[in-house]
Structure formats: structure tokens, C-alpha cells
Amino acid sequence: MEKPAHIKDLIQTTRIDDCKILTIPKIKDPRGNIAVIEKEILPFESKRVYYLYDVPSDAVRGGHAHKELKQFIIALSGSFTVLLHDGKEQKEISLNKPDKGLLLVPGIWRKLEDFSSGSVCLVLASATFDEEDYIRDFTDFLSYKK
């Protein structure tokens, strides 16, 4: 089935450099800090929230790309590595601070690995789950990027 032109264009033009670390505003308090995601912190409205926890240190999560979905990934506790690939370039990003998050744009392959003990990965997504939005095969992903 032929991809709609707008999706094809979007996937082909996104690059790793479009993925950014964003600082989450925090309120410092001796009783404990509060990080707040509201208003215009994210360039999308969050429509789905999920989190990964109790992930074994040798496990790999992700291993897919999205056609239209945007995500914001935060290490609420512990740390993990996000491996990104845009069809040409690769990059590794370590997440380990609850006031920093990684903005992921559509058309970027991602894998999460090297989870520390007790890590919690929070994901805010721009849409609810839709299997049709996933590209789960890396070869298919590379075809989309051409």
C-alpha cells in the first residue's frame, strides 16, 4: 500500500538533529523538587502516558520508528541509553536526570537499552496507540527514509 504523501515527506525529512533534549522547569524546595510539564514545554499535546519499569539491565526496548507520533522520554529514576537512527546517522543519548527529557520526532528509529537497576522511563506521546503508526522492521524503516 502506498504511503500518503504527507507521511512519506515527514518520514523522509526528519533527522537525528530534530530530536532534542528539553529541560523541564523545576521548582527547588528543601523538602524535594517538583518538575512541571505544562503549557508550552512540549510542542504537542500529550494524549498518552506510559512508563517502563523493572526492565532487566540486558533488555532492549523500542526497536521501532513512528510515522506520525511524537514522544517525550524522561528517566524519572535511574538511567538508560536511547539509540537513535535516522537512516543515515546514528546517535546515543544517555538519560539520567528527571528534569531533562528527549523529544523524539516521527521517522526516527529508536532503541532503549542499558537500563540501570530501579530505572523508570516515562513516555508522553502525541497520540493514543495505533499499530498502523509503527515501523517495526529496520529494513522497512530504511525504505521509508529513501
Tell me the three state secondary structure of residue 13: helix
Active site annotation includes 64: yes
Of the candidates 75, 63, 72, 84, the one whose C-alpha atom is nearest the C-alpha of residue 115 is 75
* Distant-in-sequence, close-in-space partners of 75: CB < 8 Å, separation ≥ 6: 95, 96, 97, 98, 100, 119, 120, 121, 122
Of the candidates 44, 36, 41, 48, the one whose C-alpha atom is nearest the C-alpha of residue 22 is 41
Catalytic residue among 6, 64, 66, 85: 64
Please count the helices (runs of H) and the strands (runs of E) in the chain.
2, 12
Give me the active site residues, please. Answer: 64
